[in-house]
Structure 1
Amino acid sequence: MTTPDPQSPAPEPSKPSGSAAPQYQDRIYRSPAALAGGVLLLAVIGWLGIDAVVAGEGRTPWLSLATMLLLAPLVVAYTLRPAVYVNDDRLRVRNPFRVIVLPWGRVASLRSGFSNEVVDDSGAKYQLWALPVSLRARSKAARQETRAAARAARGEGGGDGERGGRRGGRGAFGAGAAAEGPRRAESDRAMDEMRELRERRQEAEAAQGEVTVRWAYEIVGPVVAGVVLLAVLLAVG
């Protein structure tokens, strides 16, 4: 599951397509399940670690501190940090240990398989950690689409739509069902939206530039420090 967070609902028609300023602010895609899991894990690590620091004896408080220094950044990296930022000019991918910025003019494709990934025009692939693929969600969406298509073919509906179809006639319900469009998993819908934006903006002057990759030293640094401190404590005995 992913949650898009649109910051601006409508474009400004007065701006030309090649304007240097984007027509939209960033739309953010994240995984609510990962966010909830990350907060829970951090709470557990903090509770156990602080308890060990306060009540522990000998080397236990130091080992607890080193363990928290190692685990907390990793939990943040894999749960709270991943996000995909999208606007008219570029795609910014914030993965656990890297930040990749790809202008739409350099995006060759957006692929969905067992994982979602973006491919630039040089062939380099970058996984979208914030948009995990759920085969279960895809199967559920496919089953719902199959059932909806079968009901539409029979002129039937479900829930409020079914009652509305019976009151207004079969033709009215069929039109409403067709207007809803195919059902898709959340991450697949997000990928569809980004593909559509890429098609519209790939040739725009403002959507050109270089692909940049930056390491997340704010995550790597504490992890390395935690590993070194834990290794020293274990080696000293």
Structure 2
Amino acid sequence: MGNAYQQRLSQQMPSDKVEDVSRGLRWVFQNIERYGGDTSQMLLMGQSAGAHLASMLLLEHALLEAKHLTKGSKEEADNWSVKDLKGFLGISGPYHLQKLGPHLASRGLYPGIMTHMTGGDLLGCSPEALLQQDDWKAFGARAADLLPPIHLFHGDRDKAVPVWSSVHFAGALKDAGAKQAVLDVRKGMTHTYPVVEGPMKRHDPQVEIILPMLFGPGAEKRLETTPTLPPMANPRIIDAAGVVSPF
């Protein structure tokens, strides 16, 4: 997997979404200080498909770096390191595409769409499955040491991506040696609550997670002292929308 990732990078294949994310992250590392940012305060996060792509990048890049270190290479892996990230936040992510197929079929959806999207390589494009590959078995211990703190967030009422997706991935990460992997399952939350219903009700669980990851203990006080704003719509209407939503 690491060799394939390195090859795709060298070929500059813009259609590969994981490499798109890598190039974007590399650009931010190289340019954030020009805009007043701090490279030591960078957090990688994604929701749904974004969580899938970001987690693929995180694991593939850690594996690539581990291979460089094992071989004693002085060349940096794509000019940035996963160990420099403050953390990774994955929200409602599909982390094993092959396992997700039956769920999609049970909801009347066409699971073959994922086969088309991945070129038929469902396992090769699944973060959880990557941890079972021969490359990870060979270099995974060193790769796991490079990983930043990982926080996997999922609502237990998620209809689009079942909560077991994050549960299984969190377990696989710990079994693979990730020392800072946290599973955060929220009762009553749907797939879209963290990005739609919650913010509309002036409740943003993403910010509640991000601030402590970035600023450490005491960050919660920033939330407590933030002025409370009224909901963007009638809370009952927002709740009703969450119930009828297919997600």
Smaller-chain TM-score bracket: under 0.3
Larger radius of gyration, structure 1 or 2?
Answer: 1
TM-score scaled to structure 1, two decimals?
A: 0.25
More strand by share: 1
Higher relative contact order (CA 8 A, sep 6+): 1
